[in-house]
């Protein structure tokens, strides 16, 4: 894929992030699920590490390698003509330039990167360390000549890190550092109540990514909360798995 096409897709992906009018990025894991989503009318996709890992028989949390991931991403981008973002977990222990170059070579124009370091005992990066990684990714993106859309994720909520009383404050401080370092959107991953989400979207300076349950959440409920991006994590695959189990059970 040419650099011009990659930049066009990156520009479109970034422009789709609008606070209050969120882009919905169905979380896919192979060419089949990607085509399913695009045929349903979605303008961009995200590739989820968890469903990809499940699909290749490996564990989430960097049980697969970066090469495992990019091989699958290349199959997806070869099957659809829309911008594709990729969950790069905590970076697979790879240098920032290798992450950016590998994703671009596979045809992706965005990435999530989280602050749980799976390759180092699943420790949580400090806010400053995570911001340094975001800055390195942005510099690598600039060097590659394509503005890769960086979705900076924090796992404070899903890890229940620290005290409940100041977790939102700490997440906001951490995400602001990531924004200052060059992120394009922010992902305080977790299932938040409305008040918490309103606070996150009002106090953070970039579009906020929310995770949604595709079979039960109301798609119209996220915009009024100020959300700018919606993805499904592993839940789209899990819903389809549930339907498949029901279908297959008839034939036991």
Average pLDDT of the chain is 97
Average pLDDT over residues 141-149: 98
53: confidence class by pLDDT, cuts 50, 70, 90 = very high
d(CA 224, CA 234): 24
What's the pLDDT score for residue 155?
97
Q: What percent of the chain has pLDDT over 90?
A: 98
| Strands (DSSP E) found in 88-208 | 110-113, 116-117, 123-124, 149-154, 185-188
Q: How many CB atoms lie within 10 A of CB 95?
A: 11
Tell whether the torsion through CA atoms of 50, 56, 61 and 62 is positive or negative.
negative
Q: What share of the chain is helix, strand, coil (3-state, %, to 5)?
A: 50, 15, 35
Domains of the chain: 3-249 (3.20.20.60)
> Residue 112: which of 130, 124, 139 has the closest Cα?
130
- Checking DSSP bridges between strand 116-117 and strand 110-113, what pairing results, if any? unpaired
> Residue 208: which of 138, 141, 153, 134 has the closest Cα?
153
Average pLDDT over residues 138-153: 98
What's the pLDDT score for residue 200?
98
DSSP, residue by residue, 17-78: --TTSPEEE-EE-SHHHHHHHHHTT-S-EEE-HHHHHHHTT--TTT-S-HHHHHHHHHHHHH
pLDDT digit string, tens, across residues 165-178: 999 999 999 999 99
CB 109 within 8 A of CB 9: yes
1: confidence class by pLDDT, cuts 50, 70, 90 = confident
Question: What residues does 210 pair with on adjacent strands?
Answer: 230
pTM (two decimals)? 0.96
pLDDT digit string, tens, across residues 182-216: 999 999 999 999 999 999 999 999 999 999 999 99
Tell whether the torsion through CA atoms of 140, 15, 116 and 233 is positive or negative.
negative
């Amino acid at each position: 894929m040419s650099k011009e096409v990659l930049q066009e897709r990156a520009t479109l992906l970034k422009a789709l992030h609008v606070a209050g009018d969120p882009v919905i990025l169905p979380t896919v894991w192979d060419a089949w699920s990607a085509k399913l989503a695009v045929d349903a009318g979605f303008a961009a996709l995200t590739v989820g590490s968890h469903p990809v890992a499940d699909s290749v028989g490996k564990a989430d949390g960097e049980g697969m390698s970066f090469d495992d991931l990019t091989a699958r991403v290349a199959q997806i981008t070869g099957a659809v003509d829309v911008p594709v973002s990729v969950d790069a977990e905590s970076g697979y222990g790879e240098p920032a330039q290798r992450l950016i170059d590998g994703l671009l070579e596979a045809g992706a124009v965005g990435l999530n990167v989280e602050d749980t370091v799976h390759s180092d005992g699943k420790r949580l990066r400090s806010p400053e360390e995570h911001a340094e990684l975001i800055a390195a990714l942005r510099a690598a993106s600039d060097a590659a000549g394509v503005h890769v859309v960086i979705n900076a994720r924090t796992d404070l909520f899903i890890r229940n890190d620290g005290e409940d009383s100041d977790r939102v404050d700490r997440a906001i401080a951490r995400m602001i550092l990531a924004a200052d370092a060059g992120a394009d959107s922010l992902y305080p991953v977790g299932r938040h109540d409305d008040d918490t989400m309103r606070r996150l979207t009002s106090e953070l300076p970039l579009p906020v990514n929310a995770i949604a349950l595709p079979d039960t959440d109301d798609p119209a409920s996220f915009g009024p909360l100020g959300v700018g991006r919606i993805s499904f994590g592993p839940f789209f695959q899990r819903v389809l798995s549930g339907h498949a189990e029901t279908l297959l059970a008839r034939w036991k």
